[in-house]
Structure 1
Amino acid sequence: MHKNFKNIDKIVYGKGSFNQIDDILAPKRVENDKFMVFIVDKYFEGKDLADRIPAHDGDMVFFEDIDQYEPTTDQVDKLRDQILADKGLPAGIVGIGGGSIMDIAKALSLMVNNEGSSQLYQGLNLVKNPGIYHMGVPTVAGTGAECSMTAVLTGPVKKLGLKCDWTVFNQAVLDPELLATVDRNQWFYTGMDCYIHCIEAESGLYFNAYSKAYGDQALALCREIYLGDDAGQTLENDEKLMIASLFGGLSLTYSEVGACHAISYGLSKILGMRHGFANCIAFNHLKEFYGEAVDEFKTMIETHKVDLPQGLSKEWSEETIDAMVEVSYNLPHMWNHAIGLDWEEKWTREDIKKIFKRL
């Protein structure tokens, strides 16, 4: 069965496009209980961008803290319960921030129309009712969350996405000027998430011409941004990175992630590592899967003088490593792509454990 996936309904791109949000939202404000919810990265609280949020009287604005951990099912459930109890059903949800904020906004748009904990919906096509209108406004680029049909949440048992057609944003606002506030390391880690998405997509069972078309362009842009003559964090490169992120996400949508993401999910779930950082930690040690791309990645690390930690596993107990192995092993769709449909005959928990011990 071929994938039949939904794309973003509308996209506005360009410097200053953030200023169009109020006009875009205006016709949606008549729906449901006629108020908007803005989910904003706590980093922007008290900063200039917070003053530019087009919140009207009666709207709700939440500054969410995701500095240390991935978004959680509990976080989404509490937001949902508070919104419904205080004001009713929103006309729409707007997420302003990085990939974690995008995932919260996507999950929240579903959960206001679905009963029970978001834990119940971690997986493919488990959501019972369509969500409400939702808009994504990325302030970092690389995760592809702005176009992904997955809202990745960490629950008590697993880190896994709410994945269905209804998860995809109705509107994306891609304003490269918003990337100016991103610190250098975060700019690198999220950009590498895009690079790794494309390398993983092309390095496995589900790669195809559709995925290749978007992935090749995203990789070309990443190489200009991180290895080109004008490599670095400039407005021109931020414009390129915003499009690379979108194309990388679209490449991934019709392919799949592989070993790197499986390992990084273990790091995020058990140690609370941020997603892009965890991907970099893992990718740096996966040459048997990604070959020369790992060498290219190391060159990018050196070019941008990023201090990527080494020898982390020396501080981990066997119990901690075993817990990470269990998370990674229980992601069969990723191992299907990376190794093949018979991956369980070729790959064991002990093989995964050896990777974690390299990190």
Structure 2
Amino acid sequence: MSYKNFPMVSRVVFGRGCFNQLEDILAPKRINSKAPFIFFVDDVFKGNAWLTSRIPLSYDDKLVYVSTKEEPKTSQIDELVEDIILSYKDRPSGIIGIGGGSVLDIAKAVAIMLNNDGESKDYQGWDLVQNEAVYHVGIPTISGTGAEVSRTTILTGPERKLGINSDFTPFDQVILDPELTKDVPKDQWFYTGMDCYVHCIESLNGTYLNAFSQSYGEKALELCKEIFLEGDTSDEESQDKLMMASWHGGMSIAYSQVGVAHAMSYGLSYLLGIKHGIGNCIVFDHLEDYYPEGVAVFKQMKKKHNISLPQGICANLSDKEFDIMINVALSLEPLWENAIGKNWKKTITKETLKALYLKM
């Protein structure tokens, strides 16, 4: 029996205001004055001096604002990488992502592609990356995705939506400053927090479950229940807890897998461009047959926070469009195996998925 020898983030700093340590953390990693640090920053922070004035730019460092209206695409990664290669003689000293899951995934993917030939779509899948990434740092400004800790970077490619899952994907350094999440809009806070909640439910109810995943998943689930059933969304304690829930939720799937909601949410995202957090919520709302307890608690949380999810998003789709979504979902075989077991193909058919999508 061989066990997964998976990489973890080697350095992490946690605490309110620890973002101010960024300069001290990066300084020893600068290769020379010609090798820049490239900062990818969520464009919601454009004009937000409270955050941007603290980004330590010097020499040829560059700040790039990234729109997160759409999920990251392989073509977008290739353009960003080409731009860096054409703009600088030297490889960057490091890539820093400051934002939500999309921005963190972009930073991870760019760091990988700077040291690997070809196009990023060639690396969508498991363990296809040959060379280690450029030094890269993740700084989440919203909590829940687990992107700060995972070994994948989720990209929408020409053929499918699938991560670059590799040992070279995780960040070398993560800075967890809960203060950076203080201005997240309420619905966004809920959807991204539910991404974490769904990670826990899928991991803890999966066939891949083991004591390692379970210990992280149970802690994250406990924190999610405290935050979303008992806590006050705006208080500092909830911000701190959700940042740790996100970390633990990400760790819980590192050694296991996610399940039905994530597989089907990828289909929605690929065809309709629905963002990951809200996509998970739309799907999970209809998964009583797979996760009865988890869905019941989810509905309680939804009610407590007055969240109304979009309805009828699949009502007017053609058969061809359904097929595209269903094929994307079915291609995520490890997720189905974790959710249902080795014989998942006997029960998870195109008809099963179509009936579920029609409810959404």
Length-normalised TM-score, structure 2: 0.97
RMSD over aligned Cα, in angstroms?
A: 1.2
Check whether the contact 1:32–1:91 (CA below 8 A) recurs between aligned residues: no
What residue in structure 2 maps to residue 17 of structure 1?
18
Query: 1:356 Cα deviation (Å)?
Result: 0.5
**Within 1, Cα distance between the matches of 2:221 and 2:200?**
7
Q: Does 1:270 align with 2:271?
A: yes
**Within 2, Cα distance between the matches of 1:34 and 1:70?**
29
Check whether the contact 2:95–2:137 (CA below 8 A) recurs between aligned residues: yes
Check whether the contact 1:232–1:304 (CA below 8 A) recurs between aligned residues: no
1:95-145 CA distance string (max 9 Å, x none)? 000000010000111100111110000011101111110000000000000
What residue in structure 2 maps to residue 177 of structure 1?
179
Pairing of 1:202-213 with structure 2 (within 5 A): 202-213=204-215
Q: Does 1:35 align with 2:36?
A: yes
**Within 2, Cα distance between the matches of 1:256 and 1:144?**
13
**Within 1, Cα distance between the matches of 2:128 and 2:155?**
14
Check whether the contact 1:184–1:233 (CA below 8 A) recurs between aligned residues: no
Check whether the contact 1:32–1:89 (CA below 8 A) recurs between aligned residues: no
What residue in structure 2 maps to residue 250 of structure 1?
251
- Equivalent position amino acid for 1:114 in 2: N
Query: 1:265 Cα deviation (Å)?
Result: 0.2
Would the alpha carbon gap of residues 288 and 111 (structure 1) be closer, same or farther in structure 2, given more than 3 Å must change?
A: same
**Within 2, Cα distance between the matches of 1:357 and 1:19?**
48
Check whether the contact 1:222–1:244 (CA below 8 A) recurs between aligned residues: yes
What secondary structure, in the 3-state scheme, does the structure 2 residue paired with 1:308 have? coil
What residue in structure 1 maps to residue 108 of structure 2?
106
Query: 1:241 Cα deviation (Å)?
Result: 0.2
In terms of mean alpha carbon deviation, does 258-267 or 317-326 score higher? 317-326
Pairing of 1:1-359 with structure 2 (within 5 A): 1-30=2-31, 33-48=34-49, 49-67=51-69, 69-87=70-88, 88-228=90-230, 230-359=231-360
Query: 1:169 Cα deviation (Å)?
Result: 0.3
**Within 2, Cα distance between the matches of 1:90 and 1:265?**
32
- Equivalent position amino acid for 2:301 in 1: M
Query: 1:32 Cα deviation (Å)?
Result: 9.4
**Within 2, Cα distance between the matches of 1:148 and 1:128?**
18
**Within 2, Cα distance between the matches of 1:62 and 1:235?**
29
What secondary structure, in the 3-state scheme, does the structure 1 residue paired with 2:153 have? strand
Check whether the contact 2:34–2:60 (CA below 8 A) recurs between aligned residues: no
Q: Which ranges in structure 2 are unaligned for 5 or more consecutive residues?
A: none
- Equivalent position amino acid for 2:161 in 1: K
**Within 1, Cα distance between the matches of 2:184 and 2:161?**
26
Check whether the contact 2:73–2:156 (CA below 8 A) recurs between aligned residues: yes
Q: Which ranges in structure 1 are unaligned for 5 or more consecutive residues?
A: none
- Could you tell me the percent identity over the aligned residues? 47
- Equivalent position amino acid for 1:136 in 2: G
Check whether the contact 1:224–1:231 (CA below 8 A) recurs between aligned residues: no
